[in-house]
Structure formats: C-alpha cells, structure tokens
Amino acid sequence: MSATYNGPKVCLWTLDHADPASLATYVANGGYEPLKKILAEQTPATEIIEQVKISALRGRGGAGFPTGLKWSFMPRNYDGDKYVVCNTDEGEPGTFKDRDIVEFNPHQLIEGMIIAGYTLGAKAGYNYIHGEIFELYESWEKALEEARAAGFLGKNICGSGWDFDLHAHQGYGAYICGEETALLESIEGKKGQPRFKPPFPASYGLFGKPTTINNTETLASIPWIMRHGGQAFLELGKPNNGGTKIFSISGHVNKPGNYEIPLGTPFADLLEMAGGVRDGHTLKAVIPGGSSAPVLPADIMMGCTLDFDSVAKAGSMLGSGAVIVMDETVCMVKALERLAYFYFEESCGQCTPCREGTGWMYRVIKRIEHGEGRPEDLDLLMSVGTNIAGRTICALGEAAVGPVQSFIKHFRAEFEYHIANKRCMVGS
C-alpha cells in the first residue's frame, strides 16, 4: 500500500493543470483575488501580519523563522524606500523546490511578493535567482511582463493608486549568496559577503534601507493564507508548523523529485511516495534538510516525522526540506569529502575560522579518503569544527561543520576503518 497525499497543496497545485505557469491558469483558479481584495478594502498591514502569524508559517529558506514575526520587525513609519527581497538562490545541495515554484507557479510568487510589498510598505522587490538556472530567470521575467500587462505590477496597481514593481536579479554561481545579507551585497553589485548582524535587514537592508527577505516558498504561501485564512494554513500542518511543505528528495530513491505534503508527515511516507530506496538496496543514512543538516542514520530517520520541531529533536534540522537519501553502498568518507569540498569552495573567505577551517577540514578528510589518514585526525576534525561553529559572521561556518561532526559521530567506525585499512569499508 503506497502512501499518498491528496489534500490541498499550497504551492505546486498548478501542476495538476494543463498550462501550470500561465497567468490564465492562475487567475482561473482564484489567483490575484486576495491581492485585489486587499487593495480594494485597503486591508491594514497589521491585519495581514496577524493572519500570517496565526498561520504559523515558518520560513522555508532553512532557519524556520516565523514569517509573521519577521514581518513585524519592519519599521512602520519610515519615510524612505523599503524593499522586499525573495530568495530563490537555492544552492543548498539537495534543494530544488523553489525552482519549481518559479517555473510552474510564478504568479503565486508574484502575488505573494506584491502582498508582502503592500504590507511592509515597500517600493520595489527583487527576486534573486540561482545562477545556474538561466531559464528560470527568463521565464520569471516573462511572468513579470504578464503581470505588468494585467495591471498587477507597476503604477497604480488595480486602480488602487499604489505603485510597486518587481525585478529579477540573476546570481552567477556562489552558494553563499543564499545567505540573506550576502544576497543583498550581491544585489548591490559586490562580492556576496555576508554582513554582520545587527543591524538586521529590517533596519539596514538593501541599499541601506529597511528590507524583508524571505524564501520563495515562504512568499508563495502568502496568497494561499490570505485567501483561506491563517487558521486553515495552520491546520494543513501541525501546531507551530503550519502548512504543507515541499520536500525535495534526492539520492538513492526510485523517484527523486519534489513532493508537497503536510508538515508532520512521517519520513517513511515520503520515502514511499518517492518510490522507496533504490531497488535492491537498503537505507543507510539520510540528510533531512539540505547538505548543511546533520546526517541521521536510517533507524533514527525512519522514526521521525517531517516538521521543524521533530527533526530538531532527532538531532538534525528540517532546513530547506531537502532530503538526501543514501543506501548501504555509500562510503561515508567519500560522501563527506564531497560535502567538505563544497563548503571549502563556497566559503566567502572573510571570517578567519571559516576561510581557514573549511580548507583544513577538507584536506584532512581528503587525506583519510585517499588512505593517508592518521588516528588523531578524527578528534582533530571534531575540534576544528568546534572552533569554527558559532564563531563566524554567517551560518555557513556551522553549515560546514554540521556534516563533518555528524558523519563522524554516527559513522565513526567507518572512518576508523578507513584510517586503519587505508580503504573503504563499503565496496563502492
């Protein structure tokens, strides 16, 4: 009996329609109605924020920060420009959900950004799109044109007298630009190096102006909330974890892909929906929330439900909802070497611990993988990790350490075998 989810979907529902990305499809299914209503009734910002708070929508970008609360940080009586920024940088290995929202339901994201702009008093918004997916940049620009032509963007939106516009900014190959302040620097035309916080973007953001940054999926959820109410969204998921969420499942499953299911769904169900572990193989380990999340062994994972709180309790994090599945053929040293290389390559380089430490960790792991490990290396790696985590400007430091410490913690025997025997414990 295979697990399925047939309830309402917040973001990827257009995929059940013939022409999912079109304005026509979106409008025919009630799209832009919430926006029109808000503009017609001039709904007070506080009311919108209240609904978002009730919905228990938590940021889909990785940290799971309550969106309603974030929005309430924006200064109300600021006379100057303010901005809304959407984070479609999506470079966390394993994550590929936001691209599907932009590709298959761009207008819901546009509407979400417009409502955010209205609520937060912004003058314009930017969507930062992952560098390698140029097709997305083009399709999004096209969708913006459609929205402009239909009077949803630009001057005097829907006859309300309110002006607001959206633009695309294309990344060009730097994972760190997913970090919100690096992303702002990047839009400003600089190297994407994170800023120290405080000040937070809500007071000093894009071009030094108050700015709210949310993930694509977060912003795309807003129209649904405004249409059905915060309570309905909350009830899709579970308390403190409102809504459905897109899980990107990759690795050793039969049907990798995006699955939009309620928060709180057991992992086992998701695995089933994705066709189960590669035929003839058994589950070894899962990274439940993108490459930065600590890895969990199969047994722990199989007992876990997919929501922010449960995964945290199990010792990892839900992060962006990117589930990387590994079967018994995976050499954990080799897998970790690849991840360690990624963080070493992607460190922006400003913080000493991250710049120096990610390279150090990578080189040690590489040595182990190539049969030159030393007995003291594992303790060294743990200790170097401790000296990085929590001591950097942004969370990439922690992100780089999470895999290293968790791989060693849960699969120490495999690493020790590698060091002692100068080869893999698994045959891959």
Partner 1 sequence: MPVVTIDDKQIEVAAGSTVMDAAREAGIYIPHFCYHKKLSIAASCRMCLVEVDKVAKPLPACATPVTEGMVVRSHSERAVEAQKGVMEFLLINHPLDCPVCDQGGDCLLQDIAMGYGGVASRYAEPKRVVTEKDLGPLVATDMTRCIHCSRCVRFGQEIAGLMELGMPGRGEHTEVMPFLAHQVTSELSGNVIDLCPVGALTSKPFRFNARPWELSRRRTVGPHDGLGANLAIHVKGNRVYRATPVDNEAVNECWLADRDRYSYEAINSDERLLTAMVKDGGQWLAVDWRQALAQAAGALKVIRDTHGGNAVGFIASPRQTVEELHLFQKLARALGCENIDSRIDRADFAGQRDGVEWLGMPVADLNGLDRVLLVGSTVRKEQPLIAQRLRQAVKQGAQLNVVHVADDDLLCRVANKLIARPSGLVEALAQVAKAVGAEVEGLGTVVVSEAAQALAASLKSGEKKAVLLGAVAQQHPAAAELHSLAQAIARATGATLGFLADAANQVGAGAVGCRPGQGGSNAAAMFAEPKKAYVILGAEPELEAWDAARAHDALAAAELVIVMSPFLGHGSDYAHVMLPIAAYAETAGSYVSMEGRLQSFNAVVPPQGEARPAWKVLRVLGNQFDLAGFGQDSVGQVLAEALPEGEATVRARLGNGIAGVAVAHLHAGAGIERLGETPIYQLDAYTRRAPALQATADGQAGQAAAASGVLIARLGLAEDKPVKVRHNGAETVLKLVRDDTLPDNVVRVAGSLAAASRLGPRYGEISLEKM
Partner 2 sequence: MSLSAASLSQIDKEIAKYPADRKQSAVMAALRIAQVEKGWLANETLEFVAEYLGMPAIAVYEVATFYNMYDLEPCGRHKITVCTNLPCQLQGADTVADYLKQKLGIGFGETTPDGRFTLKEGECFGTCGSGPLCLHNNHKMHTHLSPETVDKLLDELK
Residue closer to ligand FMN by CB (options 21, 317) is: 317
* Residue 293: exposure state from Cβ atoms within 10 A (0-12, 13-18, ≥19): buried
The nearest distance, CB 214 to ligand FMN, in angstroms, is 4
State the binding partner of 143 from partner 1, ligand SF4, ligand FMN, none, CB within 5 to 8 A by kind: none
Site string for partner 2, 111-140 (x = CB under 8 A): ---------------x---xxxxxx-----
The nearest distance, CB 322 to partner 2, in angstroms, is 8
Pick out residues in 187-216 that bind ligand FMN (CB under 6 A): 213-215
End-to-end CA distance of the chain: 32
The nearest distance, CB 390 to ligand SF4, in angstroms, is 10
* 214: DSSP letter: E
State the binding partner of 347 from ligand FMN, ligand SF4, partner 2, none, CB within 5 to 8 A by kind: ligand SF4
What φ, ψ does residue 246 adopt, rounded to 5°? -85, 125
Pick out residues in 149-188 that bind ligand SF4 (CB under 6 A): 176
HSE, CB side, 13 Å, CA atoms: give it for residue 139. Answer: 19
The nearest distance, CB 388 to partner 1, in angstroms, is 8
Pick out residues in 348-377 that bind ligand SF4 (CB under 6 A): 348-351, 354-355
Near partner 1 by CB under 8 A: residue from 104, 344, 407, 415: 344
The nearest distance, CB 357 to ligand FMN, in angstroms, is 15
Give the C-alpha separation, 348 to 396, whole Å: 9
Near partner 1 by CB under 8 A: residue from 40, 380, 413, 420: 380
Q: Does 387 bind partner 1 (CB under 8 A)?
A: yes
Pick out residues in 269-298 that bind ligand SF4 (CB under 6 A): none
Q: How many other CB atoms are found less than 10 A from the CB of residue 30? A: 12
Among the candidate windows 43-51, 87-95, 236-244, 383-391, which touches partner 1 by CB under 8 A? 383-391
Near ligand FMN by CB under 6 A: residue from 12, 52, 176, 287: 176
State the binding partner of 387 from ligand FMN, partner 1, ligand SF4, none, CB within 5 to 8 A by kind: partner 1
Site string for partner 2, 264-293 (x = CB under 8 A): ---------------------------x--
| DSSP for 85-123, written as a single string | EEEE---STT--SHHHHHHH-HHHHHHHHHHHHHHHT-S
> Cis omega before residue 199 (within 30°)?
yes
Q: 248-281 burial string, b = 16+ CB within 10 Å, else e?
A: bbbbbbeebebbbbbbbbbbbbbbebbebbbeeb
Q: Hey, which residues does 322 pair with through a beta bridge?
A: 248
Helices 377-388 and 352-369, packing angle to 10 deg: 160
Q: H/E element holding 23?
A: helix 23-28
Among the candidate windows 75-83, 112-120, 152-160, 353-361, which touches partner 1 by CB under 8 A? 353-361
Find out whether 171 and 85 touch, Cβ atoms under 8 Å.
no
Site string for ligand FMN, 89-118 (x = CB under 6 A): xxxx--------------------------
Near ligand SF4 by CB under 6 A: residue from 392, 403, 405, 411: 392
Find out whether 272 and 283 touch, Cβ atoms under 8 Å.
no
* 340: DSSP letter: H
Q: How many other CB atoms are found less than 10 A from the CB of residue 15? A: 15
- What residue type is assigned to position 371 of the chain? G
Using DSSP bridges, classify how beta strands 244-251 and 257-262 pair: parallel, antiparallel or unpaired.
Answer: antiparallel
Find out whether 260 and 9 touch, Cβ atoms under 8 Å.
yes
Q: Does 246 bind ligand FMN (CB under 6 A)?
A: no
Q: Does 252 bind partner 2 (CB under 8 A)?
A: yes
Helices and strands: H and E segment counts in the chain: 17, 11
| Interaction site with partner 2 (CB under 8 A) | 81, 89-96, 98-99, 126, 130-135, 167-175, 186-192, 207, 248-252, 256-258, 291, 322, 324-326, 330, 335, 338-339, 342, 345-346, 348
